[in-house]
């Protein structure tokens, strides 16, 4: 068991590393040469064209020392941009995402204050751990502040019971308010959005084969008959997997060509050469520039041939299409209704944004989809529950005795105080972290196999898988296997009612472990996030070898984006910890609050200055976030129940706690009925309002031309075209002209821009 | 433990009582005086106008002895009517309902044969129960045929494992086929249906209050704006609770008036008198006919005044309405889409049939509805789990020793062999039965409080409550509390994995109990159903005192209807028993098969000749039936798992069984996705086909006039009018003229009718 000293060592290490990251960030971000790493968003927006120079001296290093003095300025700057402007600037997804951190603050600041004021004195004066029979056990000072210090059967547990209710009510209240706010934000966002192709378009899948006519005509006839007044046009989906591969190959060859051309320009004496074999490692040596030029020419022809084949060959059309309607009303109707009496064909759903579409999954038949989901459910089960074995092993290493038993020759080293503190305070967190890094890719692949058709739904699905994984492996795994691996077996054979008791009993003992975990993952991890080490290095490598024009430099930027699938379940883990320990070990709460506050600031800075979202789903993920916080709450309530009944509190307390999870489940149902439809359905009234407004303001709009090429597989567009279309959608048709529009293209807009986030 | 002799006694008693009921039925049904009790359906259909007379002698007694010889003729007659005609005659609900029994036969006949051929020999030759260490225990011969006779750890359990899989696969296969057939039947039924008001109508609830205009105009404006091309008209809903009470009171007074008038006609000398006080028990004595005539006159005025008030008072309009559309397509769109961005207002759903509407629940606001559901969920929990206590007491009485302990003075009586057999074989079943009779009314009231808006959904909801109740109290209650009340406590404190084991262990021992239960509830119960004792007595009472005209006699008929809410969960119980015991004690299966065969015949007869359904939901209940059979299957699979692991079968068998419930759950999901939408959604394609057809055949139809009064609260219509409208809907607008139509009104149609069910 880690003592207060171990915690202090860990806190010191983590605070220092966090501060080190922050200082490094503060220095690096002021160098003009790194400007595109730390402020890519502004370049992508077209507000900034080249780095701001400090003084006339250098393009690369900032020599204006006054700016260094204000090196922590980014923090208030990050908080200064008002929310409506933030939504405008970074999209609703990002703005709502950082509200999760804000929600954490709203929930936990009052809980922390109340818990410290009420429960800590109650626990502290419990004095169980000072009794003689416990003298042989080593308890840390932290345990004296926890529920373990209250004597068995004490009346003091009524305080914990009451607080458990108060905390639950407060959490639900804040969640309700937040759900309401976010539903309103989403509705306003959708209502104020400019014209988008997805507003008029429905994705139709599982078009049944027709012996008499090709897919495209079959679709047209079906919708002409069944939506006669509303059907406008449709776009078929081509199976362009091979074409996409060829295009990717061509792009890679172009990169190499540029690389060798740059090399040649710098040293005109030596013509660069390469080998034609695998990865340039063997084969005959040839002139690199000539070779790649020829290869690109050949690939160009292949790409064109394949493109022609795909467009002309009816076999290359998959039985799915994007069907567009004359009005938003017509699309809303088609997306929400069932078309055919056979529910496995003519499946319609609202089309995702063009850039949100995951093209490879559009053609999966219904039965195959069901089987894929079954297989993935089984795979997820095995992944979740058999991953536990290595985890338990690592966790047992965190126990000094365990290491000494396994590796006895390390004993003299380990017994040193510093090393001991390090192992106990730091290692478990690191070990967990490494395990978690490997996982998201696997989970995303599984979601892709399950056949979701948009990036946003893939991310949402992966997030829920990851959440389950964290619950079982990180939380339950740490709580149970951490104290003893054997407990796992005991646990299965224990009486039914002991399920929550077993967990409840080991929860207070794991408080110190989770405190270190919060510091490693929450504090240092977030500080590392803002430093962006990997993109920094990558940018400079690309900048050195591949960049010739400003446009190349723009492509070398990797702004990255919020990785919902991994980061949201991790936030959920902090909610869970906070809710569980709110009653048990209140001293853990300030660490949670610090995490939320720090993360809020960092991510607000990142979404303002760095991240470029790949798609905009209009905060469609919020119901999941809400649900998972409630799952955390219910788990906490059950653990409190187990803990109170196990510590033999008054017999009369436990029944009172049974009502808690039931009421929470009811609250979930209530919120679901009240708000969820705002995130999954499309009210006809709103569609009608927008249609009417548009008909009045733009009576001569040629919608068919506008929608004609909206849903074309990206490989059919050039890269340039791609971006232009995206900008076009967003900015060409504003119902209300935006401020951003007028700044578009002004190279040094940031110097005078009112966007606070970029001011230094 | 009941022995084979007890079972025989019980079988004898029950078979005799069943035969007695059947003979009584066969005699009574041939008497012309009972014709309206046993063949009300034909009167209601208008095919029969008065009883068939056998010979010229009597209107009351059948003296044609030839008919008595063929007294079991109703059985083949009941089976003779082909299914399409049955649907036409009795509606899809009834036709599909009796297919549940057919499904039972389809599932259990092959299972029974296989189990008797394979498992009985395997069990019989197990010989465990003949071993010395079991000599002191009393096992019946039935147990020798059950799994208890297989020695612990035997390889023979592989046979049970294999059979468990075979039975599960067979059950799922049959269920899949049946779901497919019923979905097709429903779609064909809906497609071939004549024009009905509910095809064009959507029920709108939670209309938000508008300060500027009354509800009716607000609704009209909303739908004119949001469904401009489709909205036709709407009917507001009046709060007519008080009016309905007045009308009911008036009707009761009219009955009394008729009663006294009849009395007076028979005995002209004595003027009947009554007392004016409560129930005619006290108060001043007055002339009855004058009194009731005056009272009815007064009530008539009151009713008229109240009717005028309701229609004119805007306060009496509830915020709900039936909105009708110009096309089925428009209604399908409105029913399936969300209207407003606030999902708690303007809630639309497909309107139930006019006679299916439960008027009292139309005006419940959203939040109140959620709270009501929560309260009812809690109430259901308590009802289900605290009902167990008296049940356990009665069950323990079935144990002879239990009775002797509680009521020692009965000992000499009980010890007699006949009485002992009676108590053990008969009493437990009867006791259960009495408990179950009280329940449906409570459950239906709970469903009404939950706020469902149609009779069909109320019945579906009550059925699922009753199913839960039967599962917990009849099944689990009998299995666990029956062996010992203390086991309940042990059970809660037992290890998690022992949950299925505990049940699995006591299952084989309860086989004899469930066999008696099947005979009492299944055999005698069903035979009593066909005798219709209560309606028989009631009819003759009414006929004697209240009937003056033929029309009165028609009203005195009580055809009754299938009571889905109580009878379907009871069938489910037999499915559960059959699936559980298929592997454990195969000798129980023939009893189940006999139950299904007998019930199928009886209910087919009843729906042809007796029942008059109150509404037609188009077999909307099938997904529930399917789900509950699957729940039974999963319970059976888990019990088999527990039993096999408890009897220490090969360690390697148990893991094989875990896959079973998982695959079954997946099968459920698959079926849900594949078929359920046929029962809850309304494909636009089908709507469009019917619209187009109608437009072609009846271009001049005045739909508005047709729909104008379709959804009027029943108290605003006279009773006569009510029936006329119902007939009108069904028969006035056939796309294809039906045979039935031509018979309509022919008084002795039955004599020449091809409807086989009525031939004698």
pLDDT digits (tens, 9 = 90+) for A574-610: 999 999 999 888 888 999 999 999 899 888 888 888 8
Whether the CB-CB separation of A358 and A448 falls below 8 Å is answered with yes
User: pLDDT at residue A329 above 70?
Assistant: yes
> Do the chains contact at A684 and B227, CB–CB below 8 Å?
yes
Tokens 């379940």 map to which residue?
A: A569
Share of chain A above pLDDT 70, in %: 76
**Confidence at residue A632, expressed as pLDDT on a 0 to 100 scale:** 93
The 10s digit of each residue's pLDDT in B487-528 is: 445 555 555 556 666 677 777 777 888 888 888 778 888 888
Q: What is the pLDDT of residue A726?
A: 42
Closest-CA distance, B653 to chain A, in angstroms, reads 19
Whole-prediction pTM: 0.80
Half-sphere exposure of A280 (CA within 13 A, CB side): 11
> Has residue A502 got a pLDDT over 80?
no
pLDDT at B395: 60
Residues of chain A with Cβ-Cβ distance to B645 below 8 Å are none
Contact list in B for residue A682 (CB cut-off 8 A) is 337-338
ipTM reported for the complex surpasses 0.90: no
Which of A230-244, A528-542, B359-373 has the least mean pLDDT?
A528-542
Q: pLDDT exceeding 70 applies to what percent of chain B?
A: 76
The pLDDT of residue B9: 80
- Using the beta-carbon criterion (under 8 Å), do A688 and B225 form an inter-chain contact? yes
All residues at 6 or more sequence positions from B444 whose CB lies less than 8 Å from its CB, including other chains:
B458, B459, B462, B565
Among B369-378, B463-472, B488-497, B651-660, the least confident range: B488-497
Instruction: Give residue-wise pLDDT tens across range B15-25.
Output: 888 888 888 88
Which pLDDT score, from 0 to 100, does residue B630 have?
Answer: 94
Exposure string of A243-270, with b = 16+ CB inside 10 Å and e = fewer, is: bbebbeebeebbbbbbbbbbebeeeeee
- pLDDT (0 to 100) of residue B361: 84
Residue from the list A227, A343, A666 with its beta carbon closest to the beta carbon of B374: A666
Residue B691's closest chain A neighbor by CA?
A226
Partner-chain contact B370 A332, CB within 8 Å: no
Please, which pLDDT band fits residue A705 given cuts at 50, 70 and 90?
A: confident
Identify the residue among B335, B343, B659, B690 best suited for mutation to test binding to A, counting A beta carbons within 10 A and taking the highest.
B343
Residue A723 scores a pLDDT above 50: no
For A297-318, how does the pLDDT look when each residue is reduced to its tens digit (9 = 90+)? 888 888 888 888 877 777 778 8
Q: Do B227 and A340 touch (CB under 8 A)?
A: no
Question: pLDDT value at position B495?
Answer: 53
pLDDT higher than 60, residue A116: yes
Look at residue A160 in the predicted model and tell me its pLDDT.
Answer: 85
For residue A440, the tally of other CB atoms under 10 A from its CB is 19
Q: What is the pLDDT of residues B705-746, one digit of tens each?
A: 888 788 888 777 754 444 444 444 444 444 443 333 333 333
> Min CA distance, A464 vs chain B (Å)?
19
**pLDDT at residue B608 in the model:** 85
Contact A226 B682 (CB under 8 A): no
User: How many Å lie between the alpha carbon of A499 and the closest alpha carbon of chain B?
Assistant: 8
A381-399: average pLDDT: 67
Mean pLDDT of A704-708: 82
Question: Per-residue pLDDT tens for B282-292?
Answer: 667 777 778 88
Phi/psi class of residue A692: alpha, beta or left (left: φ > 0; alpha: ψ in -120 to 50)? Answer: alpha
More confident residue, B653 or A470: A470
The arithmetic mean of pLDDT across residues B75-79, rounded, is: 77
Q: Report the sign of the C-alpha dihedral through residues A259, A264, A266, A270, in that order.
A: positive
> A570: closest CA among A726, A698, A436?
A436
Chain A residue nearest residue B367, CA to CA = A670
* Average pLDDT along chain A: 77
CB A582 within 8 A of CB A65: no
Q: Mind listing the pLDDT tens digit for each residue in B5-18?
A: 777 787 888 888 88
CB contact under 8 A, B333 and A338: no
User: How close is the nearest chain A Cα to the Cα of B669, in Å?
Assistant: 8
Mean pLDDT of A159-170: 90
Paired tokens of B458: 């109320």
The answer to whether A688 contacts B492, with C-beta atoms less than 8 Å apart, is no
pLDDT above 90 as % of chain A: 12
A496-500, B91-95, B554-558: which has the highest mean pLDDT?
A: B91-95
Residues of A with CB under 8 A from a CB of B: 187, 225-227, 229, 332-333, 336-341, 343-344, 346, 366, 370, 374, 377-378, 492-497, 499, 662, 666, 669-670, 673-678, 681-686, 688
Report residue B471's pLDDT band, with 50, 70 and 90 as the boundaries: confident
Encode pLDDT of B292-319 as tens digits: 888 888 888 888 888 888 777 777 788 8
Contacts of A684 in chain B (CB under 8 A): 226-227, 337-339
Asked if A646 and A509 touch (Cβ cutoff 8 Å), the reply is: no
Average confidence score pLDDT of chain B: 77
CB contact under 8 A, B670 and A225: no
pLDDT at A49: 66
Contacts A–B by Cβ distance under 8 A? 123
pLDDT category at B606 given cuts 50, 70, 90 is confident
Alpha-carbon distance A20 to A14, whole Å? 10
With a cut of 80, say whether residue A553 has pLDDT above it.
no
Q: Which residue has the higher pLDDT, A223 or A138?
A: A223
Q: Nearest CB to A497: which of B341, B493, B676?
A: B493
> In whole angstroms, what is the distance from residue A666 CA to residue A660 CA?
10
Least confident range from A259-268, A422-431, B680-689: namely A422-431
Backbone angles phi, psi at A471, to 5 degrees: -55, -50
Residue-level pLDDT at A493: 55
Summarised one tens digit per residue, pLDDT across range B530-539 is 887 777 888 7
Q: B280 — alpha (psi -120 to 50), left (phi > 0) or beta?
A: left
Residue A737 has a pLDDT of 39
How is residue B4 written in tokens? Answer: 């084979």
Band (A69; pLDDT cuts 50, 70, 90): low
Distance from CA of A472 to the nearest CA of B (A): 18
Interface test with B, best of A176, A330, A343, A659 (most B CBs within 10 A): A343
Q: What is the CA radius of gyration of chain B?
A: 29
Task: Please answer whether residues A611 and A94 qualify as being in contact, where contact means their C-beta atoms are separated by less than 8 angstroms.
Answer: yes
A contacts of B497 (beta carbons < 8 Å): 492-493
Return the pLDDT at B656. 72
Q: Mean pLDDT across the stretch A394-417?
A: 66
Is residue B140 within 8 A of residue B2, CB to CB? The reply is yes
**B346 contacts on A by Cβ (under 8 Å):** 685
Residue B399, pLDDT above cutoff 70: no
pLDDT, residue B129, reads 58
The pLDDT-based confidence of B752 (bands split at 50, 70, 90) is very low
- C-alpha distance from A179 to closest chain B C-alpha (Å): 13
Q: Is a pLDDT exceeding 80 seen at residue A755?
A: no
Locate the chain B residue with the closest alpha carbon to A335.
B337
Tally Cβ neighbours within 10 Å of residue B690: 19
Which of B420, B495, B602, B471 shows the shortest CA–CA distance to B38? B602
3-class secondary structure, B83: helix
Question: Which pLDDT score, from 0 to 100, does residue A653 have?
Answer: 63
Pick from B344, B669, B685: which is nearest to A340 by CB? B685
How far is the alpha carbon of B124 from chain A, nearest alpha carbon, in Å? Answer: 34
pLDDT digits (tens, 9 = 90+) for B188-216: 888 888 888 888 999 998 888 888 888 88
> Which residues from B are below 8 Å from A677, CB to CB?
338, 343
pLDDT > 90? residue A210 = no
Q: Check CB contact under 8 Å for A337 and B333.
A: yes
Which of the four pLDDT bands, split at 50, 70 and 90, describes residue A748? very low
For a pLDDT cut of 90, what percent of chain B falls above it? 12
Instruction: Tell me which chain B residue has its CA closest to the CA of residue A222.
Output: B685
- pLDDT band, very low/low/confident/very high, at A368 (cuts 50, 70, 90): confident
Burial of A297 (0-12, 13-18, 19+ CB in 10 A): exposed
- Residue of higher predicted confidence among A64 and B665: B665
Distance from CA of A327 to the nearest CA of B (A): 12
Burial-class residue A442 by CB neighbours within 10 Å (0-12, 13-18, 19+).
middle
B341 and A187: CB-CB below 8 Å?
Answer: yes
The confidence score (pLDDT) of residue B727 equals 43
In whole angstroms, what is the distance from residue A473 CA to residue A615 CA?
Answer: 31
Structure token pair of residue B631 = 């729940």
Q: Which of A225, A370, A684 sits opposite B339 (nearest CB)?
A: A684
């Amino acid at each position: 068991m880690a003592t207060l000293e171990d915690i202090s060592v860990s806190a010191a290490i983590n605070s220092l590393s966090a501060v080190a990251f922050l200082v490094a960030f503060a220095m690096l971000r002021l160098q003009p040469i790194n400007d595109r790493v730390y402020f890519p968003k502004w370049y992508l927006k077209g507000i900034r064209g080249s780095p701001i120079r400090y003084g006339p001296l250098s393009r690369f290093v900032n020599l204006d020392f006054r700016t260094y003095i204000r090196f922590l300025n980014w923090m208030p700057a990050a908080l200064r941009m008002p929310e409506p402007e933030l939504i405008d600037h970074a999209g609703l997804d990002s703005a709502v995402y950082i509200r999760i951190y804000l929600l954490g603050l709203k929930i936990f600041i009052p809980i922390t204050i109340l818990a410290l004021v009420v429960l800590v004195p109650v626990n502290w004066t419990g004095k169980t751990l000072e009794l003689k029979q416990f003298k042989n056990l080593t308890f840390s000072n932290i345990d004296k502040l926890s529920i373990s210090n209250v004597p068995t059967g004490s009346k003091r547990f009524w305080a914990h019971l009451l607080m458990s209710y108060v905390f639950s009510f407060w959490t639900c209240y804040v969640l309700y308010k937040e759900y309401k706010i976010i539903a309103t934000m989403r509705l306003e966002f959708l209502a104020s959005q400019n014209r988008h192709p997805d507003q008029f378009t429905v994705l139709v899948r599982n078009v049944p084969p027709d012996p008499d006519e090709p897919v495209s005509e079959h679709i047209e006839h079906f919708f002409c008959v069944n939506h006669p007044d509303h059907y406008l046009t449709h776009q078929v989906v081509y199976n362009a997997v091979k074409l996409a591969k060829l295009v990717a190959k061509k792009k890679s060859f172009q990169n190499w060509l540029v690389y060798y051309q740059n090399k040649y320009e710098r040293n005109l004496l030596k013509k660069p050469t390469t080998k034609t074999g695998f990865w340039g490692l063997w084969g005959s040596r040839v002139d690199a520039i000539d070779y790649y030029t020829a290869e690109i020419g050949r690939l160009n022809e292949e790409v064109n041939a394949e493109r022609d084949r795909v467009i002309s060959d009816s076999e290359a059309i998959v039985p799915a299409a994007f069907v567009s309607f004359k009005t938003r009303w017509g699309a809303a109707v088609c997306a929400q209704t069932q078309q055919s009496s056979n529910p496995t064909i003519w499946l319609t759903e609202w089309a995702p944004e063009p850039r949100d579409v995951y093209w490879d999954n559009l053609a999966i038949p219904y039965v195959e989809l069901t089987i894929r989901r079954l297989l993935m459910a089984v795979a997820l089960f095995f992944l979740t529950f058999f991953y536990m074995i290595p985890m338990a092993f690592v966790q047992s290493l965190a126990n000094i005795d365990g290491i000494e038993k396994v590796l006895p020759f390390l004993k003299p080293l380990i017994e040193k105080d510093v090393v001991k503190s390090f192992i106990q305070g730091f290692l478990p967190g690191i070990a967990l972290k490494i395990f978690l890094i490997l996982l998201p890719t696997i989970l995303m692949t599984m979601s892709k196999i399950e056949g979701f058709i948009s990036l946003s739904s893939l991310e949402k699905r992966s997030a829920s898988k990851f959440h389950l994984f964290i619950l079982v492996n990180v939380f339950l795994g740490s709580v149970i296997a951490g104290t003893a691996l054997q407990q796992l077996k005991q646990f299965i054979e224990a009486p039914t009612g002991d399920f929550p008791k077993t967990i409840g009993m080991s929860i207070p003992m794991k408080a110190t472990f989770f405190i270190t975990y919060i510091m490693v993952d929450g504090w240092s991890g977030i500080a590392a996030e803002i430093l962006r080490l990997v993109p920094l290095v990558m940018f400079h490598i690309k900048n050195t070898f591949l960049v010739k024009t400003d446009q190349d430099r723009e492509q070398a930027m990797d702004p990255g984006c919020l990785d919902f699938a991994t980061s949201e379940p991790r936030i959920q883990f902090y909610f869970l910890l906070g809710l569980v320990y709110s009653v048990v070990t209140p001293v853990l709460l300030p660490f949670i609050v610090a995490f939320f506050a720090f993360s809020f600031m960092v991510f607000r800075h990142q979404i303002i200055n760095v991240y470029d979202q790949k798609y905009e789903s209009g905060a469609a993920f919020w119901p999941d976030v809400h649900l998972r916080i409630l799952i955390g709450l219910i788990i906490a309530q059950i653990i409190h129940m187990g803990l109170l009944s196990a510590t033999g509190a008054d017999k009369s307390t436990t029944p009172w706690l049974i009502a808690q999870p039931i009421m929470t489940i009811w609250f979930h149902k209530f919120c679901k009925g009240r708000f969820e439809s705002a995130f999954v359905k499309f009210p006809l009234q709103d569609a009608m309002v927008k249609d009417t407004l548009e008909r009045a303001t733009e009576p001569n709009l040629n919608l068919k031309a506008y929608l004609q090429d909206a849903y074309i597989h990206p490989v059919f567009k050039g890269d340039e075209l791609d971006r232009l279309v995206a900008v076009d959608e967003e900015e060409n048709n504003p119902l209300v002209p935006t401020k951003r529009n007028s700044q578009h293209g002004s190279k040094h807009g940031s110097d005078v821009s009112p966007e606070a986030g970029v001011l230094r």
